[in-house]
Amino acid sequence: MNYQDIIGHKIEIESLQRAVKKGHISHFYLFEGEKGIGKMTTAKVFAKHILCRSQNSESPCGVCASCRKFESGSHPDYIEIAPTNGIIRKNEIDNIKKQISFSPFESARKVILIDDADKMNKESQNALLKILEEPPSYINLILISSNTKLLLNTILSRAEKIHFKPINASDMVNFLTNKENIALDRAKLISDYSQGSIGKAFDLIKSEEFILLRDDVLKLVDYCIFGRDYMVFEMSENFTKNKEISENVLLILLLYLRDLFIYKSTQSELFLINKDKIELIKKHSILEFDKINDIIEKIYYTKESIDLNVNKELLFEALFFSIQEEY
């Protein structure tokens, strides 16, 4: 595992490489950005680089004892924690405090990585603050978060923030076609639906369920437009089994309506995401532009309401019934 194995994030990686090479490594980093875009992979390579014995190189050497132990998961100067049952408790932070009180065993530094740091409860975050107030000189702490709003301002203000943006479509498509041997049309579809998240892209590669879900969602759209909206009760239950499925349904709807809008505007298939659904798109182009916009607004309202834990099944029933009403 090395920097060249990471998709995208060129500027962020170059900044981290310079920090190691020049010996200007911050004591405390916060890697922030959407879930699944490569923060954790980058953090691990960066940790490996910090601990590598060849400090003058652009990347971890991969051959020294430190690199070999890191790859095997047995490096004594690397500590990694993640949520257990959705939470990081104070005792885990207290355990870190004990471990960093001892000098490094093999490397010049000790690296602590906390994944999903926003899952720390208030007590855990306060315990972490005590570590940050007087950290040993040999400590480097890396926090990873997809929701920094849940972190205390006193933690945020102390961190050097590295913001990770979604991976751009061309990098994603190149990776999927060249490294994963995905056909170009399917790679483009996966790229568009993954929304810049390589983690989501890998899930889509492995999942036939997503393709079946897309078929079901668009089938229900068709039912609603052409007066068979009674199918909403039968099908929408499958769309609300968990939050991930519900979010995928909303994403499918948004990208389909985007295609519908573009096709109505251009009468061209060139810029469509769902190219394999062109006949359905043509059929549904009877919807007026303002009606499409109204449905899109209702989708965003549904997403916000799901985040507020409003009943998902009722929300989806209302959303799909509104598609019939809009027509």
pLDDT tens profile 5-22: 899 999 999 999 999 988
DSSP state string for 23-42: T---SEEEEEESTTSSHHHH
Supply the angle between the helices 289-307 and 312-326 in degrees, to the nearest 10: 170
122 token code pair: 């208030």
Domain co-membership, 14 together with 128: yes
Write phi, then psi, for 108 (nearest 5 degrees): -80, -15
Strands 139-145 and 28-33: parallel
What letter would DSSP give residue 139? Answer: E
Domain co-membership, 7 together with 155: yes
Find all residues with CB under 8 Å of 195, minimum gap 6, and list them. Answer: 34, 166, 251
For residue 108, the SS3 value is coil
Find all residues with CB under 8 Å of 264, minimum gap 6, and list them. Answer: 285, 287, 289, 292
Domain co-membership, 150 together with 223: no
Q: Is residue 178 part of a domain?
A: no
Among the three residues 131, 164, 197, which one is the final residue of a domain in this structure? 164
Domain co-membership, 160 together with 36: yes
Residues paired with residue 79 on neighbouring β-strands, in sequence order: 112
Domain co-membership, 239 together with 317: yes
Q: How many domains does the chain have?
A: 2
Strands 110-114 and 28-33: unpaired
Find all residues with CB under 8 Å of 316, minimum gap 6, and list them. Answer: 232, 236, 239, 240, 246, 249, 302
Domain co-membership, 108 together with 221: no
Domain co-membership, 117 together with 256: no
Q: Is residue 268 part of a domain?
A: yes
CATH number of the domain that residue 245 is part of: 1.20.272.10
Among the three residues 164, 179, 199, which one is the final residue of a domain in this structure? 164
Q: Is residue 43 part of a domain?
A: yes
Domain co-membership, 11 together with 126: yes
Domain co-membership, 158 together with 14: yes
Q: Are 191 and 185 in contact (CB under 8 A)?
A: no
Find all residues with CB under 8 Å of 293, minimum gap 6, and list them. Answer: none
pLDDT at 326: 53
DSSP state string for 175-235: HHHHTS---HHHHHHHHHHHTT-HHHHHHHHH-HHHHHHHHHHHHHHHHHHTT-TTHHHHH
Q: Is residue 241 part of a domain?
A: yes
Domain co-membership, 109 together with 234: no
Q: Which parts of the chain register pLDDT below 70?
A: 325-327
pLDDT at 205: 84
CATH number of the domain that residue 12 is part of: 3.40.50.300
Among the three residues 164, 199, 219, which one is the final residue of a domain in this structure? 164
Domain co-membership, 36 together with 142: yes
Domain co-membership, 231 together with 310: yes
- Closest-CA residue to 43 (of 83, 72, 24, 70): 70
pLDDT at 185: 84
What is the distance in angstroms between the CA of the first residue and the CA of the last residue of the chain? 52
Q: What is the pLDDT of residues 139-169, one digit of tens each?
A: 999 999 999 999 999 999 999 999 999 999 8
Q: Is residue 39 part of a domain?
A: yes
Tell me the residue range of the domain where 96 lies: 3-164
* Dihedral angle, C-alpha 217, 223, 225, 230, nearest 10 °: -110
- Closest-CA residue to 273 (of 194, 202, 213): 194
